[in-house]
């Protein structure tokens, strides 16, 4: 166990890692915790006693929808399922319309409304936080009426407002009416990322390469066709070719 300010290594022997810092060629402790000297990688670390919760790919998180525009919804993450510590780092994630539901979604407003509390899975952390609710146990876990802002009740697969006597639709989590808050995250799909979600929507080199190749190929084919026409026109212009062109125009 070490405390902040303690000297734990010489910078020539160990590089400062997590929970440490370097000053005047020496490595010191930055946070109270347990010292770990990694002799293989020559790194000194201090594992904090109660580290802040950091979002990782596969985490199940809860957040509030605070913006919907175009084909994206933005949610501020408030908690990670199974962890009590406050979240550190980036806490605003986006959900692309393709990651909202298992079924085709034409309008994202049919699935989310501002103020909804959702349960989502983290599918990407860097360079931006990307989320998905396209699984049965993911989606809206608490919704308010769009008119009176009172809580909506579950009726079949729709939500009903007893005060305004109107129904609304959402992309609901399977346990909307009886939330399973104390089960393991793995029972809600945590830790598993489907192949279509790897890299997030529109991210990653594969899609970018396909787009560039597709667009580039299209332009090349257009140029080839244009070149062919140029060659045909040039080929028709020999002795008398110009006169034949004039005859066709007449």
**223, pLDDT greater than 70:** no
Residue 12 belongs to what domain range?
7-51
**48, pLDDT greater than 50:** yes
Q: Are residues 84 and 166 in the same domain?
A: yes
Q: Are residues 70 and 47 in the same domain?
A: no
What's the rounded Cα separation, in Å, for the pair 190 and 121? Answer: 7
**31, pLDDT greater than 90:** no
Would you say residue 224 lies in a domain? no
45 pLDDT tier (thresholds 50, 70, 90): very high
Q: How many CA atoms lie within 13 A of 199 on its CB side?
A: 10
198 pLDDT tier (thresholds 50, 70, 90): low
Among the ranges given (116-120, 140-144, 150-154, 203-207), the one the predictor scored with the smallest mean pLDDT:
203-207
What's the rounded Cα separation, in Å, for the pair 162 and 160? Answer: 6
Among the ranges given (68-72, 102-106, 210-214), the one the predictor scored with the smallest mean pLDDT:
210-214
210 pLDDT tier (thresholds 50, 70, 90): very low
What's the rounded Cα separation, in Å, for the pair 120 and 74? Answer: 12
Q: Are residues 162 and 104 in the same domain?
A: yes
| Domains held by the chain: number | 2
Q: Are residues 186 and 78 in the same domain?
A: yes
Please give the model's pTM, rounded to 2 decimal places: 0.63
Would you say residue 247 lies in a domain? no
Among the ranges given (35-44, 107-116, 237-246), the one the predictor scored with the smallest mean pLDDT:
237-246
Q: How many CA atoms lie within 13 A of 184 on its CB side?
A: 3
Mean confidence (pLDDT) of the chain: 79
What's the rounded Cα separation, in Å, for the pair 152 and 75? Answer: 20
**89, pLDDT greater than 80:** no
Q: Are residues 30 and 145 in the same domain?
A: no
């Amino acid at each position: 166990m070490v405390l902040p300010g303690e000297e734990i290594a010489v910078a020539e022997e160990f590089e400062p890692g997590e929970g440490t810092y370097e000053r005047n060629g020496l490595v010191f402790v930055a946070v109270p915790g347990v010292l770990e000297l990694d002799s293989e990688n020559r790194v000194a670390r201090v594992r904090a006693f109660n580290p802040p919760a950091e979002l990782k790919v596969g985490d199940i998180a809860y957040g509030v929808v605070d913006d919907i525009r175009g084909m994206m919804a933005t949610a501020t993450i408030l908690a990670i399922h199974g962890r009590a510590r406050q979240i550190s780092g980036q806490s605003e994630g986006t959900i692309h319309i393709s990651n909202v539901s298992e079924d085709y979604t034409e309008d994202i407003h049919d699935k989310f409304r501002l103020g909804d509390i959702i349960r989502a899975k983290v599918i990407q952390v860097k360079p931006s936080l990307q989320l998905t609710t396209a699984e049965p146990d993911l989606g809206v876990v608490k919704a308010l009426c769009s008119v009176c802002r009172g809580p909506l009740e579950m009726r079949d697969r729709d939500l009903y407002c007893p005060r305004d006597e109107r129904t609304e639709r959402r992309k609901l989590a399977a346990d909307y009416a009886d939330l399973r808050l104390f089960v393991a995250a793995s029972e809600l799909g945590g830790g598993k990322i489907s192949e279509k979600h790897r890299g997030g929507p529109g991210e990653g080199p594969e899609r970018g390469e396909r787009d560039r190749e597709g667009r580039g190929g299209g332009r090349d084919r257009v140029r080839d066709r244009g070149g062919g026409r140029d060659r045909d026109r040039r080929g028709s212009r020999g002795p008398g070719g110009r006169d034949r062109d004039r005859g066709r125009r007449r």
